[in-house]
């Protein structure tokens, strides 16, 4: 049974606004909490991946694990929104976070036993967990904030989350600082990651169900408490024929596709071990700056929401084109054979390489900036398509599922030694194709705030009939 309630009730007096941003059940506090969860779990995973090969000399081990990871992630990313609607955020997020600990532990095990199957299985299980975690995270981040401040809340989440990458980058940098010639990270690096991931898993238990989260105007983030398998199956299947989702598809496919190239073939190919960790501090730090910048543009640049959306897409398109041109110029100077066969590339060190280090560092920093701006832009567009947590959990689940399918392909492309230049061109093309399609989505489907306000009284979650207040119904 699906229970619905009055969207104007909460812990405060029914129907009365509550302007305290420090309430535990306020959208701000809940977005901060999910940011801290992602700081500890995927934030640390990102730092681990950013070292190239997960800190291992043999990149094929982690490439194969990541292929398994993103294959299962693609499936459970799409299903994750429905699972989140059925079992709620706490169990969804706790189950997802726990798999990050196992994955880091498998790399610690590999340091001693060189047993690849365990790492691959752990990667596959992490894909299941990541699908659950990111579907829940996306629903919270896009549906909890008020419509006119979604960009601000997205940038807040992205900044906290990517601080995990910054701190996570410091762990291998500090732990391996005096190991200038080391090929793989030491045990303490993996233990440090596992401690943070364990903290994030426990923090996930503090996340409230969206029906208990009350905005400052007194409205709930959803009036549906729990869904069921039948309803979610039907609604998820409909996404594959939904024009909104089809327009997002190229952006979703490309938004994690470039990680393989950037982590393995830029950071992993050009820098020594300790410098990779330092680079990741700035890569993820650039993401914090990028998310704040694009969040401001998409919330405050113009009065109309459609205009702000188009402005944000235009800024990312221009900046992204410039960064990929810079990447193209650098990529002309080396290829796979130079790095892996001839080994003629002298690895750069932040202390010893002088001015030779500056250009590649700025390029890698810029890739981080673009990543945050691109993904925050897409999340803003998704969040502008609806306000209800039930609907947005499915939209974000679809986005994360397609995103992960693209990433699975990308890791295998690198495993099969596709030339670096080809990988760069494909990444550039995917992001470039996305911009006009996202602009069309904003023009056709995003409503300005005044229109949203008019429609609020009529809106009900997809898959459910319109209800009167305080009435329990069976789902269709």
- Interval 168-185: pLDDT, tens: 878 777 776 776 655 566
- Interval 195-221: pLDDT, tens: 999 999 999 999 998 888 888 878 787
- Taking the whole predicted model, whether its pTM rises above 0.85 is answered as no
Q: Is the pLDDT of residue 475 over 60?
A: no
Q: Is the pLDDT of residue 257 over 90?
A: yes
Residues with Cβ within 8 Å of residue 289, at least 6 apart in sequence: 369, 372
Q: Is the pLDDT of residue 240 over 80?
A: yes
Q: What angle do CA 74, 80, 85 make, to 5 degrees?
A: 165
Q: What is the pLDDT of residue 186?
A: 74
Q: Between the CA of residue 150 and those of 98, 142, 235, 354, what are the distances in Å?
A: 29, 7, 24, 42
Band the pLDDT of 471: cuts 50, 70, 90. Answer: very low
Q: Kind of pairing, strands 2-3 and 472-473?
A: antiparallel
Q: What is the pLDDT of residue 237?
A: 93
Average pLDDT, the chain: 85
Q: Between the CA of residue 454 and those of 1, 61, 215, 305, 459, what are the distances in Å?
A: 29, 54, 18, 15, 10
Band the pLDDT of 63: cuts 50, 70, 90. Answer: confident
Phi, psi (deg, nearest 5) at residue 180: -65, -30
């Amino acid at each position: 049974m699906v229970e619905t309630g009055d969207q104007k009730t909460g812990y405060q007096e029914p129907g009365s606004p509550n302007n305290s941003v420090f309430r535990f059940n306020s959208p701000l506090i809940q977005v901060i909490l999910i940011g801290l969860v992602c700081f500890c779990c995927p934030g640390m995973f990102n730092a681990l991946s950013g070292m190239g090969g997960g800190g291992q000399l043999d990149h094929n081990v982690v490439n194969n694990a990541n292929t398994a990871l993103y294959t299962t992630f693609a499936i459970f990313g799409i299903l994750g929104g429905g699972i989140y609607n059925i079992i709620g955020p706490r169990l969804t997020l706790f189950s997802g976070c726990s798999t990050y600990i196992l994955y880091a532990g498998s790399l610690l095990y590999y340091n001693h036993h060189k047993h690849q199957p365990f790492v691959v299985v752990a990667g596959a299980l992490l894909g299941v967990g990541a699908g659950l975690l990111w579907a829940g995270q996306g629903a919270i981040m896009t549906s909890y904030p008020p419509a006119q401040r979604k960009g601000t809340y997205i940038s807040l989440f992205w900044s906290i989350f990517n601080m995990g990458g910054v701190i996570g980058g410091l762990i291998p940098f500090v732990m391996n600082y005096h190991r200038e010639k080391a090929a793989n990270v030491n045990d303490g690096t993996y233990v440090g990651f596992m401690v943070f991931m364990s903290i994030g898993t426990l923090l996930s238990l503090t996340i409230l169900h969206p029906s208990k989260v009350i905005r400052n105007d007194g409205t709930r983030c959803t009036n549906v408490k729990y869904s069921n398998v039948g309803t979610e199956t039907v609604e998820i299947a409909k996404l594959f024929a939904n024009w909104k989702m089809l327009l997002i598809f190229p952006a979703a496919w490309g938004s994690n596709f470039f990680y393989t190239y950037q982590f393995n073939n830029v950071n992993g190919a050009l820098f020594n071990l300790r410098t990779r960790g330092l680079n990741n501090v700035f890569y993820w730090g650039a993401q914090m700056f990028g998310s704040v910048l694009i969040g401001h543009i998409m919330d405050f640049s113009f009065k109309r929401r459609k205009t702000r959306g188009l402005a944000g897409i235009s800024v990312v398109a221009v900046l992204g084109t410039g960064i990929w041109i810079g990447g193209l110029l650098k990529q002309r100077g080396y290829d796979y054979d130079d790095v892996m066969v001839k080994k003629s590339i002298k690895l750069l060190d932040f202390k010893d390489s002088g001015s030779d280090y500056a250009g590649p560092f700025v390029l890698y920093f810029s890739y981080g900036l673009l990543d945050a701006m691109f993904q925050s832009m897409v999340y803003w567009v998704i969040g502008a398509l609806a306000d209800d947590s039930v609907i947005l959990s499915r939209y974000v689940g679809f986005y994360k599922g397609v995103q992960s399918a693209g990433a699975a392909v990308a890791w295998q492309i690198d495993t099969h030694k596709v030339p670096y230049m080809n990988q760069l061109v494909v990444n550039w093309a995917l992001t470039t194709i996305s911009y006009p399609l996202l602009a069309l989505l904003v023009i056709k489907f995003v409503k300005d705030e005044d229109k949203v306000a008019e429609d609020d009284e009529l809106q009900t979650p997809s898959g459910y009939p319109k209800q009167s207040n305080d009435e329990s119904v069976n789902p269709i």
